[in-house]
Structure 1
Amino acid sequence: MTSHPAFRPRVLTGDRPTGPLHLGHYFGSLQNRVRLQAEGAELFVVIPDYQVLTDRDVAEQLQERVEGLILDYLAVGIDAEQAVIFTHSAVPALNQLLLPFLSLVSIAELQRNPTVKDEIAHSRQAQVSGLMLTYPVHQAADILFCKAHLVPVGQDQLPHLEATRTIARRFNARYAHGASPIFPEPEALLSAMPLLLGTDGGKMSKSRGNAIALGASEDETARLIRGAKTDPERRISFDPERRPEVSSLLSLVALCQGRDPHSVAEELGDGGASALKALVTEAVNEHLRPIRKRRAELAGDRGHLRAVLARGNTRANEIAEVTLAEVTAAMGMRY
């Protein structure tokens, strides 16, 4: 990337509308998006609604879930006047890009993508559809249409980003004909956030019922934390290898209060799991209170949410059409 003062890096990020966003999303990604936008990045947030069909038979409650995502984005501080928030289905050029991109990867490459393998393993379908194999290429279209420079990802998403970089590299090599590359190879922006486990001790997930949603009430938050898995040791200590569940809860307090998890553990001492859970509940509810207040206010104006999405869809379409025109010209398909 360049240090030219006029350069604004483009950041592409997003979330599938499969359920409410939770604390893992907030600390792992949403906070980072707000920070990057404040630092001058041009933020693109895709809601890949078509991709819901990759691991389930039907896309349920889509309108409600899309609006819920927009509520969360605005509540945490994403500036809708600056960010481009859009749905995949509203930008037809994304799926036109999918076809040439698919021609650049082999079936074997798609089949051995570890993220695809994981999605198949956790699929809610008896048999996965062909759309599952195209999942990384769908994501490549989402990233490359706006020529994003940075993509915030977790470790588990790195294979998808590498697939995008491969597609960009192969397209440039095949069609740029020695001219300037059409697509940049986007870089991963890894989160430094410690792993937060779900309340059952497994991976925190929208679809596994083990996460605390940003829009949950304080009482619901307290109930979920009371049921969180810990261990029988009374002395509280931060030891992610030996005590992952306790350490995850300590990390959550530390993130909410801007502290070191070791000092949180020392403060709790021999208080045991009940004292730990009480502290987590207090810290989470205190930290999310202004976000939840803002979210409740925004929820009363659905027209505003629709306007945010309409504006983002219009802007995304403008950019996608320009990129598609470049692609068809490079491929010799402008008749």
Structure 2
Amino acid sequence: MTTATATTATSDVTDLTDLDADIRRDPAAHRVLTGDRPTGPLHLGHYFGSLRNRVHLQRLGVEMFLVIPDYQVITDRDIADHLAEHTENLVVDYLATGIDADRATIFTHSSVPALNQLLLPFLSLVSVAELHRNPTVKDEIAHSSQATVNGLMLTYPVHQAADILFCKADLVPVGKDQLPHLEVARTVARRFNERYPHPDGTTVFPRPRALLSSAPLLLGTDGGKMSKSRNNSVPLAADEDTTARLIKGAKTDTDRRISYDPAARPEVSNLLLLTALCQDRAPEEVAEEIGDGGAAALKRTATEAVNEHLRPIRARRAELAADRGHIRQVLRAGAERANATADATLTEVRAVMGSL
């Protein structure tokens, strides 16, 4: 597995390379909170952008909480379609790509009441003006499929803060577009600790750091960002023929000479990068091999690389998808562990607030 390389390293933002040595020295000192909304199938962008790094972190020994935020699905849509199906399929994808459910806590929002109770005291620490100014919220409102924006959308970053802080995660893998949300969690933690200190001088919550991966952003088949909602992705669950059809329809250009130039040739470079990630090679090396073969040869090469790389994952996925009882048991076990953690945190919060 390829480990993400350094991007930024400050007290608030870190990367996997810098953490490797630290985690190996003391894995128990770190806890990661991450997850995916159950709105559709995970795709190659999710896999190379986050899933492989999660497996890597778990293998290093860090404790991981994987939230499936089913309540957050209704932030930007009126109805949560196929919610149970999408939730179970997320678990299938997690396990198929290498997450160990015996070591990771996989759970849904709706199954952990104490987590959601933290939203109320946390909202008292954030002003309405701060919620309105959040750039990620503004972007999500602009792309919302709702006729009118609901209140949950505005409080979405505070709900995410509850996700992170209920388990006292100190590391949160995010993309750069999600940094404003994480800053809300850091602000909530700081303000809570200042307003409600422990009598012994200790603090209730850590200030979580963003874990930025340098895993490159994969484009969709239309040349835009690969996204479930834009219908331009290659799902992990797709069979080999479907994968071939989707990649065959990917946008390229008319220059027969294949070269890796992300700035000038983003679509061609994207397919080269995808091939290189699947084969653990440099995209320039892949381009040199294809040479003057043109877009057809490039797409054939990319299709073969993706199908070869995903073949064992898809085989494992088919086995898991056939045993829904096991998937539901994973969620039940995860909910039990998450509830124990959330109950303990909420008890501590009530105690320092004087409301126990």
- Which TM class, normalised by the smaller chain length? over 0.9
Q: Which residue of 2 is the match for residue 316 of structure 1?
A: 338
**Which residues in structure 2 correspond to 1:83-102 (within 5 Å)?**
83-102=104-123
**Which residues in structure 2 correspond to 1:248-327 (within 5 Å)?**
248-327=270-349
Alignment partners' CA distance in 1, 2:166 and 2:41? 26
Alignment partners' CA distance in 2, 1:195 and 1:47? 22
Of 235, 253, 261, the match for 2:257:
235
Of 200, 211, 227, the match for 1:205:
227
Of 46, 61, 67, the match for 2:88:
67
**3-state secondary structure, aligned to 1:66:** helix
Aligned partners of 2:256 and 2:293 also within 8 Å: yes
Alignment partners' CA distance in 2, 1:128 and 1:305? 34
Q: Give structure 1 stretches of 5+ with no counterpart.
A: none
**3-state secondary structure, aligned to 2:28:** coil
1:6 to 1:115, Cα distance in 2 relative to 1, 3 A: closer
Of 62, 67, 74, the match for 1:46:
67
Q: Which residue of 1 is the match for residue 161 of structure 2?
A: 140
**3-state secondary structure, aligned to 2:216:** coil
1:6 to 1:142, Cα distance in 2 relative to 1, 3 A: closer
Aligned partners of 1:20 and 1:213 also within 8 Å: yes
Alignment partners' CA distance in 2, 1:177 and 1:183? 11
TM-score of the superposition, structure 2-length normalised?
0.91
Deviation at 1:101, TM superposition (A): 0.7
Deviation at 1:208, TM superposition (A): 1.1
Q: Give structure 2 stretches of 5+ with no counterpart.
A: 1-18
Deviation at 1:7, TM superposition (A): 2.9
Deviation at 1:8, TM superposition (A): 3.8
Give the aligned residue type for 2:235.
A
Aligned partners of 1:91 and 1:320 also within 8 Å: yes
* Deviates most, 310-319 or 194-203: 194-203
Q: Which residue of 2 is the match for residue 196 of structure 1?
A: 218
* Deviates most, 156-165 or 79-88: 156-165
**Which residues in structure 2 correspond to 1:211-230 (within 5 Å)?**
211-230=233-252
Number of equivalent positions: 334
Aligned partners of 1:8 and 1:40 also within 8 Å: no
Q: Which residue of 1 is the match for residue 31 of structure 2?
A: 10
**3-state secondary structure, aligned to 2:64:** strand
Deviations 1:114-170 (A, max 9, x none): 211121111111211111011111111000000001111111111111111111111
Alignment partners' CA distance in 1, 2:273 and 2:129? 39
Q: Which residue of 1 is the match for residue 177 of structure 2?
A: 156
Q: Does 1:78 align with 2:99?
A: yes
* Deviates most, 225-234 or 137-146: 225-234
Of 310, 322, 328, the match for 2:350:
328
Deviations 1:239-285 (A, max 9, x none): 11111111111110110000001111111111111111111100000
Alignment partners' CA distance in 2, 1:6 and 1:64? 34
Alignment partners' CA distance in 2, 1:5 and 1:42? 11
Deviation at 1:191, TM superposition (A): 1.2
Deviations 1:25-56 (A, max 9, x none): 00010000101000000010000000000000
Deviation at 1:177, TM superposition (A): 5.5
Alignment partners' CA distance in 1, 2:234 and 2:193? 43
Alignment partners' CA distance in 2, 1:115 and 1:330? 31
Of 169, 187, 192, the match for 1:171:
192
* Deviates most, 296-305 or 107-116: 107-116
Give the aligned residue type for 1:186.
P
Aligned partners of 1:56 and 1:123 also within 8 Å: yes
Give the aligned residue type for 1:286.
E
Aligned partners of 2:108 and 2:335 also within 8 Å: yes
Alignment partners' CA distance in 1, 2:44 and 2:243? 11
**3-state secondary structure, aligned to 1:271:** helix
Alignment partners' CA distance in 2, 1:132 and 1:28? 25
Alignment partners' CA distance in 2, 1:184 and 1:136? 17
1:44 to 1:6, Cα distance in 2 relative to 1, 3 A: closer
Alignment partners' CA distance in 1, 2:249 and 2:169? 41
